[in-house]
Structure 1
Amino acid sequence: MNTGKTAVSGWLSRPAGRHVWWVLAVVLAAGVVRVGLKVPDGGMDNAIVVRAAKAWLAGRSPYADRHFLYLPGAVLAAVPQALLPASVARFLVPAGVTAGLVAGWACALRIHGVAWRSRFAAYGLLALALGFAPFGHLVQLGNWTVASAALLPCALLLVCRERWVAAGLVVGAAVAVKPLLAPVVLLFVFARRRRALGAAVGVPAGVSVAAALVLPDPAGFFTRTLPFLLRGDDSFVRLYEASPSAVLGRLGVPQAGATLVAGCAAAAGVWCAWRRWG
């Protein structure tokens, strides 16, 4: 049995043939073209951010749309796409998302010491592109989650190489675009890496403050978006996407009790993470 595993491992670690890379390139390019032809508006999530950027360019508050659930820095990050012609953006956006996912895959490989040119790298990415639904969904929606998908393995690779401050900067950049990786700052807390923690917190804070200074409604994230995220009382947010306190509230639990339960659940999650770190 061990001999068989060794043989398979050895076969996967060998460099992939040129024809495999050509097939992979064709598959990835076909996915980009398909999305560009099928989804001319750039997808749901992407369109929300672009509309916010266009609203800012027109002098309006991006937070007038209660469904814009991003930090102020995301508004400025979306400006280049808002200025692009739709005929260009509809292909350039899925191409950029695909490139981000490929970069994340490459970093994940290096975390485990797998060569970029190996058969495992090529066939693994091919399997993701053809058979992993979230991969296709991110490309189709132009979802900004791709920033987290690309930068999380990059940050972990930097941590593995003891470059903690650089990892903090990478996590901070991802949070500034979309705060999906905010819980990752616990890694720096547990590791007692104060400079890395400062970088992870300082980058999104600095970007948000700088962006807020040029927005017509700088407090919109706190007065409109944050309450919406906590309540989730909108048909736009499905029940499984709402916060725990919002879900419990819909089930008839008093708001104070729902908030307490949600807080206890969050504290339990942090405790479990601490135990796992230990």
Structure 2
Amino acid sequence: MSEHKSDISGWLVRRATWHLWVVLGAVLAAPVVRTARVTSDGGMDNAIVVRAARVWLAGGSPYDDSHFLYLPSAVLAAAPQALVPRGVLDVLVPVAVTGCLVGGWVCALRLHGVPLRSRFAALGLIGLAVGFAPFAHLVLLGNWTATAVLALPLGLLLAGRGRWVAAGAVIGAALALKPLLAPVGLLFVFARRWRGLAVLVGVPVVASASAALLLPDPVGFFTRTLPFLVRGGDGFVRMYEASPVAVLPRVGVPEVAAAGVALVAAGVGVGCAYRRWRGGGAGAGRPAETAAMLMLSAFLVSRPSYDHYLLVVVPVLVAGVPGEGAAVARGAWFWLAMVPQVPGVSWPYLEAVQRRAFLDAVTLCALAATVAVRCVRFGGVFSPPPPLPVPSSRGAAPSTPSGAPPLNPAGGSAPCPPASPTRHPTRSAKGLDSGASGTGGVGE
């Protein structure tokens, strides 16, 4: 990205002044202080995990609490919090959650090649903290979704550099804490990075199996938590779920029909993600949009599915706005989908917090549709055909129109490297494989 451009993108990537950093610090500190003042154990959702750890340390089963929806490895991860004084925990947890959100934004910027000291780096994070309600909600709740917000862009950044095994380790570690990024495993399948996929699966399996041996109820996750999720949770959980499976029955749609609609939408989303990956393309748009489509497809059908889950995909898409390849976040429909998440707007008949799920469902469905259209268009369904070759006046080989790249004998209009009798073909460098040739990548 060049800061010498005369348009808005050039202005955004220029170095930010200290005033912006002061504003950013104040904006990030405000929800941390508020959370420390009005909550206990770092927030309502974090308190559930801490209570489970305290029960385990006392000799009980953490799965006695039906709202504890985590793998056994999360119990051990939360155990240190159970030993920390409550007053200290009230401050440490919102600071840690905010740190994960900032870290995820930094990794997303690095993924798209945006300078970390740029105006956009500061303004983008200010916009997320001030103008995107799930940001403050996540800090207030202390939910462990924050680990996924950090892990997804970090994993994509590593994958973009050809380090798929390291990417699998990062995603796998996040799964061990909260199994939210499981759909990203399909990205490894699309790219045929089997070693990375094995690490992604192996890390949470080994961690959870080892932790389960220390619990009085080793199979409690399968005998209690999974049935609870299959039944759709309880009345308290359903009031805040944003997936069509939970929202449509609240407006009179039969549960079977709602589940069918959600399953079809999720299946179409996975197909769109595969088409986006097969479509190739340079830059970070390919992995970012593919991963975002996979996650949104899962959110359409998963139980539970909350508003702060959107923070997993939105920063990854927004961080690429200064780049020319960020077609999703530069489109009007993306920002229209964000309108229900603007804080402070009182929507008629939706003022009650229990009805906020309808607003979240609108954003989720609109964002999924926006990303899906982008994936399909990039995959070639609506893409314009390449220009036809123009015959040369001398009867020689066809030439391309002025300004078009030379034709590649292998097909398409990609530039063809000059032939050299003294050089032999070399294997490509490590990185994202094309996904269209049907062969696996080189490096892990």
Moved more, 61-70 or 30-39: 30-39
Q: Match for residue 21 of structure 1?
A: 21
> Aligned partners of 2:61, 2:260: CA distance in 1, in Å?
33
- Cα displacement (A) at 1:27: 2.4
Residues 15 and 218 (structure 1 numbering): CA distance in 2 closer, same or farther, change over 3 Å?
same
Secondary structure at the aligned position of 2:115 is classed as coil
Q: Match for residue 140 of structure 1?
A: 140
> Aligned partners of 1:13, 1:223: CA distance in 2, in Å?
52
Moved more, 35-44 or 172-181: 35-44
Aligned residues: 273
Q: TM-score, normalised to structure 2's length?
A: 0.57
Query: Counterparts in 2 of 1:228-243, with a 5 A limit?
Result: 228-238=228-238, 241=241
- Cα displacement (A) at 1:248: 8.8
- Cα displacement (A) at 1:136: 0.6
Does residue 46 (structure 1) correspond to residue 46 (structure 2)? The answer is yes
Residues 242 and 214 (structure 1 numbering): CA distance in 2 closer, same or farther, change over 3 Å?
farther
> Aligned partners of 1:253, 1:35: CA distance in 2, in Å?
36
> Aligned partners of 1:15, 1:203: CA distance in 2, in Å?
40
Letter in 2 for 1:202: G
Greater RCO between the two (CA within 8 Å, min separation 6)? 1
Letter in 1 for 2:222: F
> Aligned partners of 1:259, 1:18: CA distance in 2, in Å?
50
- Cα displacement (A) at 1:231: 1.1
Q: Match for residue 70 of structure 1?
A: 70
Residues 243 and 56 (structure 1 numbering): CA distance in 2 closer, same or farther, change over 3 Å?
farther
> Aligned partners of 1:243, 1:127: CA distance in 2, in Å?
25
Mind listing any 5+ residue stretches in structure 1 that lack a counterpart? none
- Cα displacement (A) at 1:128: 1.6
Query: Counterparts in 2 of 1:29-178, with a 5 A limit?
Result: 29-178=29-178
Query: Counterparts in 2 of 1:177-192, with a 5 A limit?
Result: 177-192=177-192
Letter in 2 for 1:206: V
Mind listing any 5+ residue stretches in structure 2 that lack a counterpart? 279-444
Residues 265 and 7 (structure 1 numbering): CA distance in 2 closer, same or farther, change over 3 Å?
closer
> Aligned partners of 2:120, 2:244: CA distance in 1, in Å?
39
> Aligned partners of 1:28, 1:178: CA distance in 2, in Å?
24
Residues 12 and 252 (structure 1 numbering): CA distance in 2 closer, same or farther, change over 3 Å?
closer
Q: CA RMSD in A?
A: 2.5
> Aligned partners of 1:205, 1:52: CA distance in 2, in Å?
20
Moved more, 39-48 or 95-104: 39-48
Secondary structure at the aligned position of 2:180 is classed as helix
Secondary structure at the aligned position of 2:68 is classed as coil
Residues 127 and 246 (structure 1 numbering): CA distance in 2 closer, same or farther, change over 3 Å?
closer
Moved more, 242-251 or 64-73: 242-251
- Cα displacement (A) at 1:241: 2.8
Residues 225 and 10 (structure 1 numbering): CA distance in 2 closer, same or farther, change over 3 Å?
same
Letter in 2 for 1:142: G
Aligned-residue identity in percent? 65
Residues 263 and 125 (structure 1 numbering): CA distance in 2 closer, same or farther, change over 3 Å?
closer
> Aligned partners of 1:220, 1:204: CA distance in 2, in Å?
16
Letter in 1 for 2:230: L
Letter in 2 for 1:130: V
- Cα displacement (A) at 1:125: 1.1
Question: For residues 109-164 of structure 1, what are the alpha-carbon distances to aligned partners after superposition, in whole Å with 9 as ceiling and x for unaligned?
Answer: 01111011111101111122222111111111101000000110111111111111
Q: Match for residue 213 of structure 1?
A: 213
Residues 141 and 239 (structure 1 numbering): CA distance in 2 closer, same or farther, change over 3 Å?
closer
- Answer with 1 or 2: which has the greater Rg: 2
Q: TM-score, normalised to structure 1's length?
A: 0.89
Letter in 2 for 1:19: H
Secondary structure at the aligned position of 1:156 is classed as helix
Letter in 2 for 1:17: T
